[in-house]
Amino acid sequence: MDDVNVSLFDHDWNTTLYFFLLNADEHIYMRYGGRDSASPDTYLNLQSLELAAAQGLELHREYAGGQIKPAPLPRPVFPREMPLLVERTFALNKCVECHLIGDFQNLQREHDGTLDKLTHVYRSPDIKTLGIILDVPKGLVVKEARGAVQAAGMKTGDRIAALNGTPVWTFGDLQYCYDKVDRQAERIQITVDRGGQSASLSVVLPPRWWWTDVRYRLSSVEPKTYFEDRPLTDEEKRKFGLKLDGFASQVTYIPGVARMKMVKCHDLLVGDIIFAVDGKDRDPLANTADLFIKLTKQPGDAATLDVLRNGERIRMPLTTDRVNFRK
């Protein structure tokens, strides 16, 4: 990875397989790859790869014919210019793996005070949150439109052609473009090709559209809480006398390792309801206590939880942790 321009070849580094099609001017025609939280293979398919390659060759012909203007190249960045990465890998003669690029980028941002968790931790928002179900072998052809995109007029058989005006040819392009949407945005424009006609759809972004299950990733900047939870329903909140607009959540899972650590992280039990963290019981971004902690705390920070257990209100401490994985 030493000579790889990670700025030019920017992508979500937590993927197993990723392709770029580009020319000698380093103009990138398209990306192919990307995944969702379910599997690294969800959007990988030979048929769609062949479609992408054929489209890429067509774009190459258009570029040669002057029909496509080269995009401005980003300032080059090489792994050897990332101080924390060099310090912890190159300098120790250790190997640099793809996912470490993304992790050290975030560690550097955390160090510099520029880490924006919604953008840098919750990468590659899931298009299914918008209601887009792709017919994967056919690339960006819509198999089913639900939720937000259905409300905007997307239909089965549409081919997604652009997002916010940027042409997309593959799921990799779409995911990359979607990832660049400002996390404060309230809507996006999706252009579809429908039977040879172009249609522009204004899609209202649902609450927490940017959230995606990142448990499969290794992220040093996300505080480990050693529990998982689910948001309470409104009915449950009423039943327990909790605020309807609060992030009260019920603990659903505690990993065994939480009990094995020398320093106890918490005393939570499955079934506990966490209704406040550090005295706060609501947040515009979080709909669970775990998400609130992940968004507002740094690894190693402590918090005080207000917990409902068998009808009794308990206050207990929690200590978050920093993930350490082989580097």
The binding site for another protein (CB under 8 A) comprises: 1-4, 9, 11, 13, 15-24, 26, 29, 33, 50, 53, 56-57, 60, 64, 89-90, 93, 95-99
Is the Cβ of residue 16 or residue 252 nearer to another protein in the bound state? 16
Nearest C-alpha neighbor of 123 from the set 150, 101, 139, 149: 101
Minimum CB distance to another protein, residue 300 (Å): 25
Is the Cβ of residue 26 or residue 193 nearer to another protein in the bound state? 26
Token readout for 232 is: 């309470």
Minimum CB distance to another protein, residue 72 (Å): 18
Minimum CB distance to another protein, residue 9 (Å): 7
Minimum CB distance to another protein, residue 60 (Å): 5
| CA–CA dist 91, 278 (Å, integer) | 40
| CA–CA dist 212, 122 (Å, integer) | 6
Amino acid 59 reads L
Minimum CB distance to another protein, residue 283 (Å): 34
Minimum CB distance to another protein, residue 20 (Å): 4
CB crowding 228-262: b at 16 or more within 10 Å, else e: ebebbeeeebeeeebeeebbbbbbeebeeebeeee
Is the Cβ of residue 29 or residue 211 nearer to another protein in the bound state? 29
Is the Cβ of residue 26 or residue 278 nearer to another protein in the bound state? 26
Is the Cβ of residue 17 or residue 185 nearer to another protein in the bound state? 17
Asked if residue 149 lies in contact with residue 203, where contact means CB atoms within 8 angstroms, the answer is yes
| CA–CA dist 76, 26 (Å, integer) | 12
Is the Cβ of residue 79 or residue 246 nearer to another protein in the bound state? 79
Beta bridge partners of 307: 274, 314
Residue that the structure tokens 């094995």 belong to: 260
Nearest C-alpha neighbor of 114 from the set 221, 4, 258: 221
Minimum CB distance to another protein, residue 212 (Å): 19
Is the Cβ of residue 59 or residue 132 nearer to another protein in the bound state? 59
Asked if residue 63 lies in contact with residue 54, where contact means CB atoms within 8 angstroms, the answer is no
Burial class from Cβ neighbours inside 10 Å (0-12, 13-18, 19+) for residue 280 reads middle
Is the Cβ of residue 80 or residue 264 nearer to another protein in the bound state? 80
CA distances from 326 to 91, 95, 105, 211, 298 (A): 15, 10, 16, 26, 20
Neighbours of 132 (CB within 10 A): 26
Minimum CB distance to another protein, residue 84 (Å): 16
